[in-house]
Structure 1
């Protein structure tokens, strides 16, 4: 958590878009972010995050989320949805809180799906 707070104070914002503007200066992203859970086998689940703008570096988002939630995750290319973040386990609530805390999306822009 302290790492996320220090990110806002650092010169290089890891969530800065490719144009060079900092996400701290931007409004929330446009569009809806969908957070879904998928059943794998047995009790194993997979959490997917779809709809994050291409202006943000998804690999850096995944890196900081993995560290904070103590889970594994990756960015995969989905034929229909584009780049999608995937995390092990049911991380829906954690991801939603993380995205609102770093001011990537508002609570109204996050839609959670699943059982």
Structure 2
């Protein structure tokens, strides 16, 4: 009978790893770079999710100078501060944020069509 003795784990949680991964994914702070369609061929690029310790106005100033476009910082009640830039600047903004050392490449999500 000793050959058939099998220990059945009683305190095993099969979903422990899945719950740990969800907590890790939720704790990561992503920077979202989106495009919003205006009228006709005009569009806006929005950047949200930057850490609050950064000066949004200084980042905006550098972005405007680098890409020769206009922009502003908008205060949203749900999302906090959001940087808006004229035109489709999604790729430019993501490479700028990585090269400036503000955000790692893994933490940037680019949205849009």
TM-score (norm 2): 0.74
Larger radius of gyration: 2
Question: In structure 1, what is the Cα distance between the partners aligned to 2:69 and 2:75?
Answer: 20
Deviation sequence 1:5-64 (CA, Å, 0-9, x none) = xxxxxxxxxxxxxxxxxxxxxxxxx61100000000000000000000110000000001
Within 2, Cα distance between the matches of 1:108 and 1:42?
Answer: 33
> In structure 1, how many angstroms separate the alpha carbons of the residues matched to 2:35 and 2:47?
9
- Equivalents in 2 of 1:91, 1:35: separation in Å? 9
- 2:40 alignment counterpart: 42
CA-CA distance at 1:80 after TM superposition: 1.2
Tell me, yes or no, if structure 1 residue 33 matches structure 2 residue 51: no
**Higher relative helix content:** 2
Aligned residue pairs total 86
Moved over 6 A (4+): none
- Aligned Cα RMSD in Å? 0.8
Are residue 100 (structure 1) and residue 111 (structure 2) matched?
A: no
Q: What residue in structure 2 maps to residue 54 of structure 1?
A: 52
* Alpha-carbon shift at residue 79 of structure 1 (Å): 1.8
